[in-house]
Amino acid sequence: MFENLSERLSGVFDRLTKQGALSEDDVKTALREVRVALLEADVSLPVARDFVKAVQEKATGQAVTKSITPGQQVVKIVHDELVHVLKGDGEPDDLKIDNAPAPILMVGLQGSGKTTTTGKLAKRLKEKAGKKVLMASLDIYRPAAMQQLAVLGTQIGVDTLPIVAGESAVQIAKRAKQQATLGGYDVYMLDTAGRLHIDETLMQEVEDVRNAVNPRETLLVVDGLTGQVAVEVAEEFDGKIGISGVVLTRMDGDGRGGAALSMRAVTGKPIKFVGLGEKMDALEAFEPDRIAGRILGMGDIVALVEKAQETIEAEQAERMMKRFQKGQFNMNDLRMQLEQMIKMGGMEGIMGMMPGMGKMAKQVQDAGFDDKILRHQIALIQSMTKRERANPGLLQASRKKRIAAGAGLQVSDLNKLLKMHRQMSDMMKKMGKGGMLKQAMKGMF
Ligand code: GDP
């Protein structure tokens, strides 16, 4: 499915993981190659750019242990970012087909594989989910298309709505709904007519059908081989009629695969299935973790790094605590704390857990402190030089200006960060002396 991209990426990472030590330049070069590989796979430019940027940010300043090489670490970061691009931040993308009979509207351009996919999905619902499915073709312009669905139905043992000449698409949809209700079907699938290009009549017809049956799922079928065009088609359909998900067909071909990677990021809509051939069982659920694994083909490394990561975190916490007890608390520590806070549900949550910080948590909340601010603060710290991070005392006016500008923020934002650092540092010192620190940090890591 992603052979070319996969080959390109494994080439890049094979070289990287073999090296014992990595310079920033090594990572940069590798990421440049990743970017080119993504673009060649027809991933849209902004998505490729954001991808590489996110990996770069995560790769710098990552702690590593002896058990893994920095290259392996980068592979893991790339893997996680791939999953993120494919999955987005949303919920799992199962089909919503409760409340029988649930209508599924199949839309897309002619030749995208819509009718084939309707059959494949019906077969899957019947066999995997034990659903009773009815299919209906709404393609009143091409009797052959109606016939095609009927033939598929017979082939896979799924009922199709009897063809009645002279009905409109909406009339057929209503008849399907009626038959599905009377016949005790769990799902009825409406295979709408496609056109070679998006046109008003087509959209209006689909809209009318949508309004008539109020589908639980509106799945857009697009040809994965068309790359970025597939993403553009999805944007148009989503804008005009609203889709709930995408089925990418022809992913069995040499397929550059870019559509799969751009789809979620550009349209915000999940890919729910991929078509992998002409046969009726050539349909797979789209599982971002598995797909990312397939693209990278480096599952072993990912698992290895995941394991090592747990060790790193424990070691980090231990080291940090020792430093705090000695009254050392620099900007790198603060950054780690901020990242931890984001992971643990934000500032209030974490401060509320620390003895003596309850009041501060309240202030933080009152000040409208949220993850965005935490991220800004991290950006400010990232904008500092190594020396500045180790010794925030160095920060005079000109340095402050440069740092704030580097993070796209104001000097006043930086001042707030520095004040917070001082306060936390004082607090750590006090707690370190009283032995309260260990207590307080217990819940944090
Ligand atoms: P529609 O006009 O959108 O309904 O398209 P069809 O369902 O008739 O499909 C058009 C052609 O694409 C047919 O020859 C299908 O067998 C083929 N096709 C559909 N899905 C896939 C797929 O995932 N992989 C491959 N290789 N061919 C497919």
Q: Same domain for 113 and 172?
A: yes
Domain that holds residue 364: 326-442
Cα(222) to centroid(ligand 1), Å = 10
Percent above pLDDT 90 for the chain: 42
For residue 233, tell me if it sits in a domain: yes
For residue 306, tell me if it sits in a domain: no
CB 333 within 8 A of CB 323: yes
CB 222 within 8 A of CB 247: yes
| Max mean pLDDT range (1-10, 143-152, 321-330) | 143-152
Percent above pLDDT 70 for the chain: 83
Structure token digits, residue 421? 């650092």
Q: Same domain for 106 and 173?
A: yes
Number of structural domains in the chain: 3
For residue 342, what pLDDT band results from cuts at 50, 70 and 90? confident
135 SS3 class: strand
Q: Same domain for 384 and 346?
A: yes
Q: Whose CA is nearest to atom 19 of ligand 1?
A: 113
For residue 250, tell me if it sits in a domain: yes
Name the average pLDDT for the chain: 84
Q: Same domain for 268 and 348?
A: no
- Mean predicted confidence (pLDDT) in 181-188: 96
For residue range 382-396, what is the model confidence (pLDDT) as tens digits?
A: 999 999 998 888 899
Q: Same domain for 121 and 263?
A: yes
pLDDT at site 327: 74
pLDDT at site 322: 80
**Which of 97-135 are b and which e, b meaning 16 or more Cβ less than 10 Å from the residue's Cβ?**
beeebbbbbbbbbbebbbbbbbbbbbbbbbeeeebbbbb
> For ligand 1, which residues put their CB under 6 angstroms from it?
108, 110-116, 194, 249-250, 252, 275-278, 282
Q: Same domain for 141 and 244?
A: yes
For residue 320, tell me if it sits in a domain: no
Q: Same domain for 401 and 268?
A: no
For residue range 277-312, what is the model confidence (pLDDT) as tens digits?
A: 999 999 998 888 888 887 877 666 676 777 766 776
Question: HSE of 134 in the Cβ direction (CA atoms, 13 Å)?
Answer: 26
- Mean predicted confidence (pLDDT) in 154-166: 94
Shortest-distance atom of ligand 1 to CA 224:
23
Is 42 annotated in some ligand binding site? no
- 352 pLDDT above the threshold of 70: no
- Mean predicted confidence (pLDDT) in 348-372: 60
In terms of Cβ atoms closer than 10 Å to its own Cβ (0-12, 13-18, 19+), residue 84 is middle
Q: Same domain for 222 and 188?
A: yes
* Separation CA 292–CA 305 (nearest Å): 16
Cα(42) to centroid(ligand 1), Å = 21
Q: Whose CA is nearest to atom 13 of ligand 1?
A: 113
For residue 315, tell me if it sits in a domain: no
CB 272 within 8 A of CB 284: no
Structure token digits, residue 425? 């540092």
CB 441 within 8 A of CB 317: yes
Task: Give me the residues paired with residue 78 across strands.
Answer: none
Contacts 24+ apart (CB under 8 A), 437-440: 437/321, 437/324, 437/325, 438/321, 439/355, 440/353, 440/354, 440/355, 440/356, 440/357
- Mean predicted confidence (pLDDT) in 41-57: 89
Kindly state the DSSP code that residue 284 receives in the 8-state scheme: E
Q: Same domain for 275 and 338?
A: no
Task: Give me the residues paired with residue 245 across strands.
Answer: 219
Q: Same domain for 125 and 263?
A: yes
For residue 152, tell me if it sits in a domain: yes
Structure token digits, residue 171? 């009339």
For residue 321, tell me if it sits in a domain: no
* Separation CA 55–CA 79 (nearest Å): 9
